[in-house]
Amino acid sequence: MNTMIANIGRYMYALPFAIFGLLHFMNANAMSGMVPIPGGVFWVYLTGVALIGAATAIIIQQKVSIVALLLGIMLLIFALSIHLPGVISGGEGMQTSMSNMLKDLALSGTAFFISGVYSSKESLADSE
The per-residue pLDDT for range 12-34, each reduced to its tens digit, is 999 999 999 999 999 999 999 88
Considering only CA atoms, which of 75, 65, 80, 51 is closest in space to residue 114?
Answer: 65
What's the predicted TM-score (pTM) here? Answer: 0.89
Interhelix angle 64-78/94-127, nearest 10 degrees: 160
For residue 32, give Cα distances in angstroms to 42, 43, 84, 99, 115: 8, 8, 17, 20, 29
Q: Which amino acid is at 115?
A: S
Q: How far is CA 23 from the centre of its chain?
A: 13
The per-residue pLDDT for range 86-96, each reduced to its tens digit, is 999 988 889 99
Alpha-carbon gap, residue 20 to 50, rounded angstroms: 10
- Are the beta carbons of 55 and 23 closer than 8 angstroms? no
The conformation of residue 63, written as its DSSP 8-state character, comes to S
The per-residue pLDDT for range 75-114, each reduced to its tens digit, is 999 999 999 999 999 888 899 999 999 999 999 999 999 9
Q: Which amino acid is at 112?
A: F
The conformation of residue 66, written as its DSSP 8-state character, comes to H
